[in-house]
Structure 1
C-alpha cells in the first residue's frame, strides 16, 4: 500500500505572495474590489490539488500573532508594515471558499501558522504520512525530515521546488535540517524583527555552523573568535539564544492530527459557484469544474477532441489555403503558476499565412462573409504616422486566424491593400481591435478609411474596469488566463540591436500577429456582455467609440509650430536661468548643483539652517520636494528663486527645446497622441508631446502657446473654452438654488460666492475676497481642507476653516449632495457621471482613515470631473460630424481640459463660431446653462 500524503498550506504566506505578485497589475472586479490576494491564493490551492491530487489537505492561518514569542520578546514582528486593506478583506472570503470546498482550516488564537503546521506535520509523520508544507517561507526548512518536505511554489511558471533533507543541506550548508534554527537565530530576521547576532550575516552564520554546529556550540567557543566579532558575540550571547528561541517552530501546540478530518472530500459546488460569481472569478470557475466536477472534465476532453477535428475539417474544407504559404500553429499547454498567471488549457490554434494569388482571393471571399472580424496591423514602428505596414492579421473564430504579409515596396503594398479596401470600407460588418485608433491611422496613410461598427477591446475594458491597465497582454492574462508571446521575444529589447518587425521570420510573424488578433477576438466576446452588465454599453457605443474616430482625425491633422519663435524663447530662458543661478549662488554663499536634491538640502538646511527640523526622505536625505519648498517660499527669497529656477529649467527642456524635435518631417507639424484609457475620471490625456501640461499660470509658460500657429495665412486659430464647467455641473447636480440662480443670471460666480460668504454687497466685494472665494469654489470639488486652503491663500488656518464652514452654511444643498455621493459610494462601491461612467472606489470603506479619506474625495470629484469630460466629448463628436457633413476646410486640432482649438479657414470663421458655440453649449442639458468663451488669434496664446 502506497504511503498517504498530507499537504499543509501556510495561508498567509501564500496570500501575501499572490497579492504582491499582482501588485503592479491588481485584479479589480467591476465592483471596484481588489481580488488579487484571493485570486493568488486560490490559484495556489488549485494548482496543488490539480498537480498533486493529495489524499489529505488542510490550510493553516495565523490568529492574533504568537503569544509565546511576544511574552519573551514584545518587539517580535514589531517592524512589519500594516497588512494591506485588500488582504484584510480577503481573509474571511478565502475562509468562506475553503469551507465551501470542505477543506479544513487550522487556526488557534495566539498561535502562528508555522507552529500549527509544525505540530500537525510531526504528528502525521508518526502515523506514516508523507507531509508537504506548502509555503515560500524558508523557516520551515528546520522541520524537514525523511517524510516531511517543503513544497515551495515558484514564480512565473517555473514549476515547484520540493526540499527534502539533501536540498536543505545544500541550500543552508548544514549537516542536519534542525541546524537551520541556529542559522536563522544567528542571522536574525528583519521581517519578523528577530535581532540575531550583530554583524553576522548569511556567510558568517554558515561558517559558524560548519565550525561549531549550533548557537550553543558557538557560545561555548567564543575564545576561539578574534577581534570585533569576538566582542560582538560575547556581548550579545543572551540575544543570540533569544533569537534562536524566536526562530524555533513550536511542534507541540494544542492541535491534533485527525486523518479523517483532513481527507479531500466533495466540495459544495453550489456555494463555490456563488462566491466565485460574486467575485467575478469566471476562469477560476472553469478551473474548479475541471478539477472537481468529473462531467466538466469529460466535456472539456470531448471539446478538445472536437476542436482538433474541427481544425482538421477547416484545413480540409479550405484545403486550398494549405497550398499557399500555410503556417499552421497547434499548441497544447497545461500550466498554472503561483503568481496568479495561467496559460490556457488545451489551446489549439490554426494560424495561417495567406500568399498572393488564388489563396488571397479565396481568403477575401471568406472574409467578406463575416459579420464580426478582428484585425490587427503589424508595422515597422510605434508611430502610426511614420510606420509602414508589415502585415495584417484577421480572426473571426476562437483559435483560428489568418495573416496577410505586406511587401516592403510601397507601390506593391498599396496594390495589396486595395484588395482589402472593400472589407475595411464596408458599413455592414463590425471591426474588432485593440487600440483601433492606431490601426485607423496606419491605414489612413494608405488612403483606407475604416468604416462600419467598431469594437475596441481596450476602450471596452476601460469602461468595465477603469483603474486597471488595459494593454492586451494584461487583459489576456486576466480574462483568458493566457500569456501571449511578447514582442521583445521577436525583436529584442529597446536599443540599437532591436529588430524591425519586418526582419522577423515569416512564420514567427504569423504566429505573433494572428495570436494577437485571436486573443482580441476572444476578449471582445468576454467584454461585450460585461459592458451591458455594468450599464456602460451606451457610453461605449455613443461616446468612446465615435470619439476614437474624432481623435484619429485630430492626431493625423496635427498643428503647425513656429520653430523660430521657440529658438528665440529658448535663448531668453537660458539667460533667465543663468541670472537665477547667480542670485541663488550669491544668497547661498557658494556654487553648487541646484538640480541635485542632496546638495540643495545641505545648503538650505545645514549651512543656511532655514528650518529647525527639516523634513527628511526615507533614505535620510533632506526633502526638497515641491510641496516642502512651496511651504517655505513665502519666508525665504532663495527658495522662491529655486522654485523659479526649477520651473524655467523644466519649461525649457520639456517644451521649448523638445517641441521642435517632435515635428513630423513628412507633415512639418506636431502630432500629439490622445489617450482615452489613462485617466480613471474619463478625461483625455495627451502624449508625445503632452500638450495638456504646458504651464499657463506663469508668463513664461504662457509664451509657449505662442509657438502654436495656423497652417498658413488663410487660416486663424480659434480657441473655445467651457467657462467654469465643473462649478456649473456641481451646482446643477446638487440642485443648489443660490448657485443655479447666479449662473442663470450671468453673475460672476466667484464674486457672488464672496458676497454671500463674507456677507457684503456684491458691488463691495474686494479683489482678495473674490480670489479666496474662487479658491474655495474650485477647492471644494477636490475636497480642500483648512490646511490646504491656508496654503493656497493668505488666510490663517483658523480663517480658512471659518471660510469653509461659512461656505457650506451658505450652500447647504451642496454639502448634502457631497455626503450623498460618499454614501452612494459606500453602498455600491462606485460613483458615476451624468452619462453613467463609473469610478470604482475600492477603499471607500477602508479602516485606514487616510486611505478612506482619499476615496471619499474621489467620490465627490469623479462625478464632477468625469461629467465635464463626458460633455466635452459629446461636443467634439458633434462638431466633428458637422464639419465633415458641411465639407468645411476648418479642422479641430486640440483638446486641452475644457478647451478646444481649431484651425479655421478665414472665409468660414463667422459660420464656424456659431457652429462651435452651439454644439458646445448644447452638448448636454443641465439645470444651469453651459457657457463657452471664444477667441481667435494668430497663435494659440492670442486665441486663448
Structure 2
C-alpha cells in the first residue's frame, strides 16, 4: 500500500508573532536576559505537529522585507503595522538555527508574501497527490481550502487545535461555496492589513450580500436594489472594494522552484539541537526530544522522536506523563516523622545547621494544611502529616529563634499557621522574594525557578489536582512526592540565590528590608481594618441615583437611548451621529475607539463626552469598591484583610489585592468618599494617617545634589512655589495659583521623564510654551538635568539602574533600535531609582514602627500602606506616643541631604485622617 504523503506548510511570522504575544504579560526570559518567548512557543508548536500529526513532509515559509505587488497597487497596504518588537527580532536567528538543526527547509521569495508561496506550493502539492495542511491562525487561507488542502489552527489559551476543511470553512463564514471566501474578506476589509473593504459592511452584512448577489461584483451590479445611505456607501466603495478583492486574493502561481524531496522529514542534528536548546535553556524540551537517547549519535530520525514521544505515557502518571527524568536526578532521602525520635533527629540537626527549608501543602480553602516537609543539607527531607501531636513538634521549629526558616511565599505560611497558635520567630529566607530582587521582570513561580536554575522539573500542582474534587482525593503518596520535591528545591534555590544576591550587592536589602517586612505585612494583613457597611449601603444608593441621572442626561444630549456601556453603540453615537471628530481613532478590530484616553482628547467638543466619563467613573466606583468591599468582609473577624504583594511591581513598591487599596480613587470627591468607609475598631480608637511630603522630589534633590532644590527643601519652602518663582523669574511672594500649578506639573512630570507634548496636554498649554517652561526649569536646576542624563547613560552601559539601597531595575530595551520602546526605557531609567528609593524608605520605616509598637506592647496597630502613606488604628490613649514613634521613624529611617517631612492627620475615618 502506498504511504500517504502529508505536507505541513507553516506560516512562519504568524506563528512567531502569536508565540511572542502569548507570553507578553509574563515573557520567558532566560538567565542571560534573552527573551525566548517566541522561540519557545514556535518550538512547541513545531514539536506538537511532528508528534501528533506525523507529517511526511514539512516546510516553514517566511515573508521578506521587499515590497510586493500589493504595496505597489495600494501604498497604504499594511502601513499601519507597528515595527517588530526587539524581543521578537532577537528570536529570528534562533528560529533559523532551530530549522537548520531539524533539517527543515526555510522558504521565501523576494516580492511575495508567505501566503502566496504557501498557496502556490499547496495547489501544486495537491495535484501531485499530497494532503496539505497550512498551519496558521490567519483566516485569509480559508480561500485555499479544498478536498485535500486544510487549515491547521494551533491551540490557543482559549481554543483547542482545530482543522478546517471545506465543510468547516463554509460553516464558519456562513457562505455557499469556498470561492466566496475572497469576496467575503474583500467586502469586510481587514484593519490589521489596512485593507479598506466596503464602507459600512461588517460580517453579517457581507454574508447577507453573498447569499443574495453571489460575489462582490454581483453586489456592485445590483446596487439599484439597495436603498438610502446603504446604497450610497456601497456605490462610493466600488473602486476600493474591487481593489480590496485583489489585495486579499492569495497568488497561487508564484514563480518558484518547488522541490518536495527537500521537504521530506529526515533527521535532526543532535549536536546542534543540544547546543541550541542548552543556550536557550529549554531543558524540558531537550528532555522530551532526547529522553530515551543514551548514546549520543549524530542524527536521530524524526520518526523515532515521534515514536518515542507517543510511547512515553506509562511512567509518572500522577504527574507529567511525558517528563520524568528530573525526579530521578534529585535522589531525595525522605523520612516520615512517625515518632518523637524521628522528629528529634530533624530538630537537633536543624539546630546544628541553624536553618531548615520547608514547604506546606495548603487545603482547598487555604485556611489549613495537609502536610509539611522539612529539608536539611544533603537532600535529607522529613515528611510531617497534619495532626495535633505533629503540630506541636512543628511549632518547636517554627518558633525557634536561632533556626532560619527558608520557604516560598512565607507570608502565607505565617498567616495560616497563626491559626494553629504557631508564631514564627527568627530569620527568614523567602526564595520567591530573593528571585524578585534578582529578576524583578521575570515570573517567580517555584516550578519555573526550579526548571530554569536547577534543571529540575517539579510536579505541577494544577495538573495533579485537575479532575480531583478536593485535596482529600489526592493519594498520600502524591502528597509526599509533591511536597518533599518542593521543599528540597526551595533549599537548593536559597543557596544559589544568596550567592547571586551577594554578587549583585543586594543581600543587605534582602536581609534588612524585604525579609523583616514579611513579619510586618503578616501582622497588618491578620489585623485587617474595620468597614462601615451602613455608610457604604447609603453611598451605593446615592451613586445609583447619580448614575440614573447621568444616563438620562446622556440620552437627552444624544437624542436617543442606547447602551452606554457598549463601545460599538457609543462610537456610532459620538462619531457617526454627533460627528465629534473628523478622523476618529479606531481599534484593531475596526471599531471606533471610546477609551478614556480617546474621550479625554475630544471632551471639549461636546458636553456629552464629560457626562460619559463621569457615568463610567460612577459605575466603576460602584462595581469595584462601594458594592464590592462589603463582599470582602471576613465572616469571623468582620473586617477586611487585604493582601500585600511583595514581589509584583518592577519598582519595589507594594501592591495589594482583595481589595486593591492602592487604587482607591482620590482625585475626585466621589472616589475620596470611599475612604470614609474605613473606620477604627471602636470608640476607643481613631484612624491616624501619616504621609511623606513630596518624598520623590526630596529624593531627586538629594541624588542630583542640585543646590537650588536642596536649598528650597532645607529652608522649608513650598517646593512648587519656589520652583515657580525660579522658572517664571518672579519674587516668591508674586507667584500666583496658575504659576504654582504649572510648576507642580513640571516637578512631578520631570521624575517621569515628561516631554513638552506631555506637559502641554497635562496643563492645557501649547507645546512651544511647555518646552519653554521645561527649558527654563533645567536652566534653574541644572544638576537635575545632569543627573537624569547620567542615569540614562549608566543604564545604557549596564542595562539597569539602582535605588539608594541597591534595588535594581533592569532595562533591556534601553539600547533598542525602536525609538518608542527606547524612550520608555529611558523614562524608566530616570524614574525607577527615585520611585524605588521611596518604596525602600517607607518599607524600612514600616519595619521599625512595627517593631517599636510590638516592643512597647501597644494596642495601636499599623493597618495599611498606600504608596507614601501609612494608616493606623490608633488607641486614643496612646495618641502622643504613637505620633512620636511614627513621625520619628518615618523621618529618620534614612539620612539624606534634605529633611524627610511627614504630615500626620487623624479622624473618625480614613477620609478625615488623610
TM-score norm. by structure 2 comes to 0.75
- Does the Cα contact within 8 Å between 1:350 and 1:401 map onto a contact in 2? no
For residues 627-667 of structure 1, give each alpha carbon's deviation from its aligned partner in whole angstroms, at most 9, with x where no partner exists. 34444555655544544444444434433444344332322
2:399 to 407, 421, 425: 425
Q: Residue 449 of structure 1: SS of its match in structure 2?
A: coil
Q: Does 1:373 align with 2:357?
A: yes
Q: How does 1:489-638 map to 2 (within 5 A)?
A: 489-490=465-466, 501=470, 504-508=471-475, 511=478, 515=482, 518-519=485-486, 521-522=488-489, 525-526=492-493, 528-530=495-497, 532-533=499-500, 535=504, 536-573=506-543, 609=578, 611-613=580-582, 615-618=584-587, 623-633=593-603, 636-638=606-608
Assess if the C-alpha contact under 8 Å between 2:80 and 2:194 holds in 1. Answer: yes
1:440 is matched with which residue: 393, 414, 417?
A: 414
Aligned to 1:780: 750
Q: Determine if contact 2:169/2:178 at 8 Å carries over to the other structure.
A: no
Deviation readout 1:362-410 (Å, 9 max, x if unpaired): 663454345533212423425xxxx3x241242638999776555xxxx
Report the Cα offset of residue 769 of structure 1: 0.9
Gaps of 5+ in 2: 171-176, 218-224, 227-233, 299-314
Contact 1:351–1:400 (CA<8 Å) still a contact in 2? no
Instruction: Report how far residue 78 of structure 1 moved.
Output: 7.2
How far apart, CA to CA, are the structure 1 residues paired with 2:598 and 2:145? 51
1:303-314 aligned at under 5 Å gives the runs none
Residue 64 of structure 1 aligns with which residue?
65
Q: Deviations over 1:703-749 (max 9, x none)?
A: 33333333234333322111101111122222222112211222211
CA 825–604 in structure 1, closer or farther in 2 if over 3 Å, else same: same
1:865 to 820, 832, 835: 835
* Structure 2 CA distance for aligned equivalents of residues 868 and 845 of structure 1: 27
- Residue equivalent to 1:655: 625
CA contact (8 A) 1:718 1:935 kept: yes
2:883 pairs, out of 899, 910, 913, with 913
Q: Distance in 1 between matches of 2:7 and 2:853?
A: 72
Which stretch shows the higher mean deviation, 252-261 or 551-560? 252-261
1:458 is aligned to 432
Q: In the aligned structure 1, how far is the partner of 2:566 from the partner of 2:58?
A: 57
Using the alignment, how far apart are the partners of 2:44 and 2:101 within structure 1?
A: 16
Q: Is the 8 A contact 2:196 2:244 kept in 1?
A: no
**After the TM superposition, which residues 279-294 of structure 1 pair with which residues of structure 2 at under 5 Å, given as runs?**
294=295
Give the deviation of 1:868 after TM superposition: 0.9
Structure 1 range deviating more: 189-198 or 456-465: 189-198
Shift of 1:441: 0.9
Taking the aligned partners of 2:196 and 2:593, their CA distance within structure 1 comes to 30
What residue in structure 2 maps to residue 86 of structure 1?
87
Which moves more between the two structures, 827-836 or 679-688?
Answer: 827-836
Q: Give 1:799's match in structure 2, choosing from 752, 757, 769.
A: 769
Q: 1:735-779 CA distances to partner (integer Å, 9 max, x unpaired)?
A: 222112211222211111001000011121112211110111111
Alignment partners' CA distance in 2, 1:149 and 1:651? 49
Match of 2:686 among 716, 720, 732: 716
Aligned to 2:303: none
**Does 2:250 correspond to 1:253?**
no
List aligned pairs for 1:341-360, cutoff 5 A. 343-345=323-325, 347=327, 359=338
Per the alignment, do residues 786 and 539 of structure 1 end up closer, same or farther by CA in structure 2, a change over 3 Å counting? same
After TM superposition, the structure 1 = structure 2 runs for residues 696-707 of structure 1, keeping only pairs within 5 Å, are 696-707=666-677
Task: Give the 3 Å change call, closer, same or farther, for CA 836–355 of structure 1 in structure 2.
Answer: closer
Q: 1:155, 1:575 → 2: CA distance?
A: 43
Q: SS of the counterpart of 1:900?
A: strand
> 8 Å contact 1:728–1:743 — kept in the other structure?
yes
- Secondary structure (helix, strand or coil) at the match of 1:920 reads helix
1:924 to 884, 894, 897: 894
Matched, 1:486 2:462: yes
CA contact (8 A) 1:709 1:939 kept: yes
CA distance in 1 between partners of 2:533 and 2:726 (Å): 49
Aligned partner (choices 361, 366, 371) of residue 392 of structure 1: 371
Q: Which shows bigger deviation, 32-41 or 150-159?
A: 150-159
Contact 2:702 / 2:896 at 8 angstroms: preserved in 1?
A: yes
Indicate the SS of the match to 2:687. strand
How do 1:837-852 residues align onto structure 2 when only pairs under 5 Å count? 837-852=807-822
**How many residues align structurally?**
857
Gaps of 5+ in 1: 174-179, 209-214, 220-226, 298-327, 336-342, 407-412, 493-498
What's the secondary structure of 2:871's corresponding residue? strand
The alpha-carbon distance between structure 1 residues 586 and 255, as it changes in their structure 2 partners (threshold 3 A), is: closer
CA contact (8 A) 2:335 2:381 kept: no
Give 1:663-742 correspondences, 5 Å limit.
Answer: 663-742=633-712
Following superposition, the deviation at residue 102 of structure 1 comes to 9.4
The answer (yes or no) to whether the contact 1:333–1:347 under 8 Å persists in 2 is: no
Asked if the contact 2:691–2:869 (Cα under 8 Å) also holds between the matched residues in 1, the reply is yes
Is contact 1:376-1:517 (8 Å) kept? Answer: no
Q: How many Å apart are 1:932 and its aligned residue?
A: 1.6
Cα distance in 2 between the residues matched to 1:594 and 1:132: 44
Aligned in 2, Cα 1:895/1:245: closer, same or farther, shift over 3 Å? closer
Instruction: Identify if the C-alpha distance between structure 1 residues 515 and 399 changes in structure 2 by more than 3 Å, giving closer, same or farther.
Output: farther
Pair 188,402 (structure 1): closer, same or farther in 2 beyond 3 Å: farther
- Kindly tell me: are residues 531 and 734 of structure 1, through their superposed partners in 2, closer, same or farther at Cα, counting changes over 3 Å? farther
After superposition, the C-alpha distances for 1:471-530 in whole angstroms (9 at most, x for unaligned) are 4566567765567142795577xxxxxx5x4xx444447626852662464266347535
SS of the equivalent of 1:692 reads: helix
Partner in structure 1 of residue 312 of structure 2: none
2:343 corresponds to 1:364: yes
1:35 aligns with: 36
What is residue 22 of structure 1 aligned with on the other side? 23
CA distance in 2, matches of 1:120, 1:81: 29
Q: What does the per-residue CA deviation read over 1:318-374, in whole Å, with 9 as the maximum and x for residues that have no partner? A: xxxxxxxxxx97768564xxxxxxx4546459999x999x83546634543455332
| Structure 2 counterpart SS, 1:458 | helix
Is contact 1:433-1:455 (8 Å) kept? yes
Cα displacement (A) at 1:442:
1.1
Written as runs of structure 1 = structure 2, the 5 A alignment for 1:892-903 is 892-903=862-873
TM-score by length of 1: 0.73
Q: What corresponds to 1:933 in structure 2? A: 903
Q: Identify the range of structure 1 (284-293 vs 731-740) with the bigger mean alpha-carbon deviation.
A: 284-293
Measured after TM superposition, the shift of residue 416 of structure 1 is 4.9
